[in-house]
Structure 1
């Protein structure tokens, strides 16, 4: 009986160890089966906010303005009116020679205006203050300078029918207040009567007309 004691104790220990081993194995299997893979939520892709392109700088600004002056040889007056990139010009000697011209103005201030009978005016607007160029008409080729002016200086025109005659007059009012103009009666040119630069009033053959500022 004394020898069987240790054997019983050893056997009991083996049984306890086997029981614990079986218990741990079952617990591990349960834990493994209950585990769930963690799915990472997909990261929402955020589209970058589109960047607005920077506005391109304006290459040049052509102002809406009036310019008047004379040819270098003082033989004629020149007036140019600019509006929205368009130009109209009038060249007049105050006696019988005149020409109306028109055309576009480039962003850099250059212009080439054309009129009847092959008349041309080429010029460049310099810093918005003056136009320097040349004009070619029946009277020849002349260099000119036209400075920026303020009302009442500028370019005026009046058209009407007076005593069954077609009247077409053009006037350039210069910065110093002097005027140069030609009045056509049925196509026959003559020096134009003076207008009131404040109102544009002018009397032609006993009838009062209104000369108005000219724009392209």
Structure 2
């Protein structure tokens, strides 16, 4: 895995149906009714009159891809963890490697998310097949990822508190190990310009309060995204 640099995208085709109809008509020369004299030898024959070709083209409406109303994805990436939470047409993502972090927010629609973070950091991904597959771009570097659907206690948590008039914000990602033995976990807490490792959560009770200096933090699941 490469080191971090803070960082998910899609298209459908239209099918065209064409119908082609061609008709032509040939006019025959009129017969001479006079029996006293033979008909002139230079009887004229009318040329076929071409008809206009009509082409009917109808664009089929583009079908929207389904977007989950609620879903959580998480994966290991770039020496850290990435989590994405989708809630009712909106999504939030968090990347952290224990030293740096990046938060992202944006719409979830047509089976995809397109999220923006600080500066030029982005997360874009397609949602389907039980995973979020896309790109994380952060710190001037871009990396592909494939994050499977996860169930609690795996996923994204956050908390806020106020200590002596200063706000403290913390974020965590918990991810069950593939072998089922324990969890990966990473998080940072920010107070002013100071970042410190967030206190560890107990995966058995991830919403239990934790202490950070003088602050008591209450980790919360992502329920609504404003």
* TM-score normalised by length of structure 1: 0.65
Residue 105 (structure 2) pairs with residue 102 (structure 1): yes
CA contact (8 A) 2:137 2:143 kept: yes
Residue 83 of structure 1: how far off its partner (Å): 1.0
Residue 163 of structure 1: how far off its partner (Å): 4.3
Structure 2 counterparts to residues 8-27 of structure 1, below 5 A:
none
**Which string of whole-angstrom CA distances, capped at 9 and with x for unpartnered residues, describes residues 71-97 of structure 1?**
2xx4221000011121110111112x1
Of 73, 76, 79, the match for 1:75: 79
Residue 143 of structure 1: how far off its partner (Å): 1.8
Moved more, 136-145 or 152-161: 136-145
Of 111, 124, 127, the match for 1:125: 127
Residue 200 of structure 1: how far off its partner (Å): 3.8
Of 181, 187, 196, the match for 1:181: 187
* Higher share of residues assigned helix: 1
Aligned to 2:95: 91
Q: Which has the larger radius of gyration?
A: 1
CA distance in 2, matches of 1:82, 1:110: 10
CA distance in 2, matches of 1:200, 1:91: 22
* Higher share of residues assigned strand: 2
**Which string of whole-angstrom CA distances, capped at 9 and with x for unpartnered residues, describes residues 109-150 of structure 1?**
1221001122111111122x1111111112632222211111
CA contact (8 A) 1:67 1:131 kept: yes
Give the number of aligned pairs.
156
Structure 2 counterparts to residues 191-210 of structure 1, below 5 A:
191-197=197-203, 198=205, 199-210=207-218
CA distance in 1, matches of 2:147, 2:193: 27
Residue 174 of structure 1: how far off its partner (Å): 0.7
RMSD of aligned alpha carbons: 2.2
